[in-house]
């Protein structure tokens, strides 16, 4: 099939790479416009843009693809694949192709709809998540499930570690779903919307640790916010990032921390160097 691929961050790259190495033809890639680096170093290319340029694939970067669909129409794709694209699609995009739009989503829908499913699944203490390949409709992650692949979450696994695993699982699941679509054997399962969960986009302030909460809940927060936006505890020397935490004999234990403007260190080394610190 001729595929138009819509994606932007590093999570999408394995799926794009898998398509390029498959029997399918990626006729164009659509990703978000470049953003300034914020460090006086000009613009920053997204991971998907870098891969696209390296592989000489036609690239489109619209401000809003629904308003600039004529940029994609000449490529006449059979299907649009979206993977962490970052724009809401309107009906004109959904109707463009023979097979419509399918999305690679990093949860077992209808759970964890929205933009941060990997992080929230860990924060909420889930033991299992997965990848869902779903037909896109106007609602947010509400379309029929075409293919789903479950995945266990490790007891100490961080969001960053799970992110890598799911991005690769998603690439394989995508090719499996496209094969079923092409053969006409795909089974479309409507989502049970009464079971849906949706959580907001994460913000830096979501990382503040409330030391009065259950230790296991805090550990899940630390895991779910690593590597971004990072959990932190307020103290007399400023905000201290917590990279790793655990529960030992029922009590919360910080394992790896990072004081302001310092490197990561074990909590033992931290306490030895900051003997009079007070946590807020």
Is there a single domain that holds both residue 25 and residue 114?
A: yes
CATH of residue 46's domain is 3.40.50.170
Establish if 133 belongs to a structural domain: yes
Torsion angles phi and psi, residue 105, rounded to 5:
-115, 135
Q: What is the pTM of this model?
A: 0.95
* Distance (Å, whole) CA 80 – CA 91: 13
Phi, psi of 194 (to 5 degrees): -70, -20
Query: Is the residue at 58 inside a domain?
Result: yes
Of the candidates 195, 216, 239, which is a domain's last residue?
A: 195
* Element containing residue 256 per DSSP (H, E): strand 251-258
Q: Are residues 153 and 19 in the same domain?
A: yes
pLDDT digits (tens, 9 = 90+) for 182-204: 999 999 999 999 999 999 999 99
Residue 72 falls inside a structural domain: yes
Q: What is the number of structural domains in the chain?
A: 2
Q: What is residue 276's predicted lDDT score, i.e. its pLDDT?
A: 85
Q: What is the layout of strands, in order, in the sheet containing 59-60? A: 59-60, 25-30, 2-7, 79-83, 101-105, 128-135, 145-152
For residues 239 and 188, membership in a common domain is answered with no
The pLDDT of residue 210: 96
Tens of pLDDT, residue by residue over 5-31, are: 999 999 999 999 999 999 999 999 999
161 and 63 in a common domain: yes
Domain boundary among 195, 220, 243: 195
Residue 280 belongs to some domain of the structure: no
- Please tell me the predicted confidence (pLDDT) of residue 39: 64
| Tokens coding 169 | 């699982």
Q: What is the CATH number of the domain that holds 225?
A: 3.10.25.10
Same domain, 150 and 23: yes
Residues 42 and 162 in one domain: yes
Tell me: do 58 and 187 sit in the same domain: yes
Q: Are residues 226 and 186 in the same domain?
A: no
Domain boundary among 163, 195, 227: 195
3-state DSSP call for residue 276?
coil
Pairing of strands 79-83, 2-7: parallel
Residues 153, 77 share a domain: yes
Residue 40 confidence class, pLDDT cut points 50, 70, 90:
low
The predicted-structure confidence for 229-274, as pLDDT tens digits, reads as follows 999 999 999 999 999 999 999 999 999 999 999 999 999 999 999 8
Domain boundaries, position 241? 204-273
Query: Do residue 190 and residue 222 come from a single domain?
Result: no
pLDDT in tens, 60-81: 999 999 999 999 999 999 999 9
Q: Tell me if 279 is assigned to some domain.
A: no
Tell me the C-alpha distance between 28 and 10, whole Å.
18
Asked if residue 118 belongs to a domain, the reply is yes
Pair 176, 247 in one domain:
no
- Structural domain contains residue 92: yes
Report which of residues 278 and 217 the model is more confident about: 217
Same structural domain for residues 9 and 147? yes
């Amino acid at each position: 099939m001729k595929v138009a691929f819509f994606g932007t961050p590093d999570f999408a790259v394995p799926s794009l790479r898998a398509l390029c190495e498959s029997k399918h033809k990626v006729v164009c890639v659509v990703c978000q416009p470049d953003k300034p680096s914020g460090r006086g170093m000009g613009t920053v290319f997204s991971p998907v843009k870098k891969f696209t340029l390296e592989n000489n694939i036609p690239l489109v970067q619209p401000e809003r693809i629904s308003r600039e669909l004529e940029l994609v129409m000449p490529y006449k794709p059979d299907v649009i694949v979206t993977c962490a694209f970052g724009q809401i699609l309107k009906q004109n995009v959904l109707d463009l192709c023979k097979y419509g739009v399918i999305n690679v989503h990093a949860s077992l829908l209808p759970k964890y709809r929205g933009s941060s499913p990997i992080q929230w699944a860990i924060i909420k203490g889930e033991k299992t998540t997965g990848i869902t390949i779903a037909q896109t409709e106007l609602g947010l992650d509400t379309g029929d499930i075409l293919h789903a692949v479950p995945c266990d979450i490790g007891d100490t696994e961080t969001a960053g570690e799970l992110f890598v695993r799911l991005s690769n699982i998603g690439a394989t699941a995508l090719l499996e779903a496209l094969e079923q679509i092409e053969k006409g054997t795909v089974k479309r399962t409507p989502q049970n919307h009464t079971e849906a969960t949706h959580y907001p986009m994460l913000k830096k302030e979501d990382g503040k640790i409330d030391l009065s909460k259950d230790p296991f809940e805090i550990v899940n927060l630390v895991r779910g916010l690593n590597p971004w936006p990072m959990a932190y505890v307020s103290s007399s020397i400023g905000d201290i990032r917590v990279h790793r935490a655990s529960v030992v004999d029922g009590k919360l234990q910080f394992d790896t921390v990072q004081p302001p403007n310092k490197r990561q260190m074990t909590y033992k080394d931290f306490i030895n160097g900051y003997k009079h610190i007070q946590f807020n």
